[in-house]
Structure 1
């Protein structure tokens, strides 16, 4: 359904028993939307949880973006949705870029965020884009498309919008083969359902991304916030995920006071799709221990 939230209409999908523990899903991208996650996990997680999934403003089935947007705006939107649904507090689950938002949300709203689940999060954009380039380098070399990659890897930051554009732009040379670096070896034939959505819906992702990555918040390293978390936290990492760097994993393990790390062997960036059954059981069990 579409909900009037802070001057726009957000698409909010609710599933599961109204009296079950609430779990909010924060999608990645930037600009990916909730459609894919719900296709793989929506009904399964809703068997025992009250699942709420929100298309961020300007994304997918929410109203098209008008004006600026920041990460702080997105968190304010989530809080407004929570209040509108009369939920006192909830567990939050952030995938990829959504894991970045989840960390900000948890630290800034400890009274309304009970627990946090991160799936292959992007907390430091210099490290994330470096890890992506390293993952894509073998395929780029195989295709003869690696010109300039070593110069980009020589830049140790700090992250900037220009760095993001240059590094992700180089990976864009992979075109239809780019998905190969995001998936585990046994998942290479995985199809994401959102690819079949109308172009008008899919194209909203580009405008959202172009807007958000020009903001100072987007390139700020959030690694220092890990030590500020007061909630129980679970970090889910796919063995072949090209986004979350080893440094970020190590910082989670050393800095989060009540953190659990779970690696999914064989999976890549989309653990919720590549290992759907085990993922459902892990997330449900964690959320029910609130």
Structure 2
């Protein structure tokens, strides 16, 4: 359904009983949308939760952007969705870049966010792209990327994403475990080109916002909610430094290593993923 939220129309996919514990899915990308996650996990998680998947402003089935967007906007949008749906509090689940937004949201709204799940999060955009390049460059002999120091920048992001683009059809392979090669993400074929173009515009805008360079890892120590970090064995996004910070800094943190899976644990090991998330959130 479409909801008017803070001056724009957001697409909201809501499943499950309204009296069940509420769970918000926060997608990554930037600009990936919620379509794929809801295709793999929507009906399964909706058996026990009131699951809400939102396409961020300007992304996929939400209205196109009409101006700049930053991470504060995304957090404010999610909080406004919660209020509009009449939900007192909910757990949140952030995948990839969505883990960065989930961390910001949990710390800024401790009274409305009860538990947090991070799936292969990209908290630090320099560390995350370092790890992605480490996975990609062995497949691109002769390609070199200058080292980057300091906070993330638009130029750094564009340069590194361009390198990943050189992988062509092989790009998907660095994100998947060996047993998941060939996995088809539904949005690639089931979402109209118009909606993919919106996602591209969103990514262009969010990566040029000043907040994109913010160092958010220190926020881990400010988490007051129980948190679960799910890390795929073959995931190329979450760095070892970020995992170490989670394990040392999060007061009530649980770490799960998904053997055999890559970046999309929710799609590569769907049944185990549902069981893991359900058990954590309802414990």
TM-score bin, normalised by smaller chain: over 0.9
Are 1:202 and 2:196 counterparts? yes
Length-normalised TM-score, structure 2: 0.98
Aligned to 1:43: 43
1:121-270 paired onto structure 2 within 5 Å: 121-141=121-141, 146-149=142-145, 152=146, 154-196=147-189, 197-270=191-264
Q: Secondary structure at the match of 1:203?
A: helix
Aligned to 2:113: 113
Deviations 1:56-100 (A, max 9, x none): 001111111111111000110000000000101100000001000
Aligned to 1:63: 63
Offset at residue 156 of structure 1 (A): 3.3
Aligned to 1:80: 80
Q: Cα RMSD (Å) of the superposition?
A: 0.9
2:107, 2:162 → 1: CA distance? 32
Give 5+ residue unaligned stretches, structure 2.
none
Count residues in correspondence. Answer: 282
1:95, 1:39 → 2: CA distance? 14
Deviations 1:153-183 (A, max 9, x none): x333332221111111111111221111101
1:262, 1:168 → 2: CA distance? 28
Q: Secondary structure at the match of 2:69?
A: coil
Q: Comparing 85-94 with 159-168, which one deviates more in the overlay?
A: 159-168
Offset at residue 138 of structure 1 (A): 1.2
Q: Stretches of 4+ moved more than 3 A in 1?
A: none
Deviations 1:209-263 (A, max 9, x none): 0000001111212110000110000000000000000000000000000000001
1:157, 1:77 → 2: CA distance? 29
1:262, 1:112 → 2: CA distance? 25
1:122, 1:189 → 2: CA distance? 24
Length-normalised TM-score, structure 1: 0.96
1:51, 1:147 → 2: CA distance? 43
Aligned to 1:277: 271
Q: Secondary structure at the match of 2:13?
A: strand
1:51, 1:87 → 2: CA distance? 12
C-alpha contact (below 8 Å) 2:137/2:143 kept by paired residues: no
Q: Secondary structure at the match of 1:117?
A: strand
2:267, 2:27 → 1: CA distance? 14
Offset at residue 114 of structure 1 (A): 0.4
1:41, 1:260 → 2: CA distance? 21
2:148, 2:58 → 1: CA distance? 32
1:199, 1:277 → 2: CA distance? 30
Give 5+ residue unaligned stretches, structure 1.
none
Q: Secondary structure at the match of 1:48?
A: coil
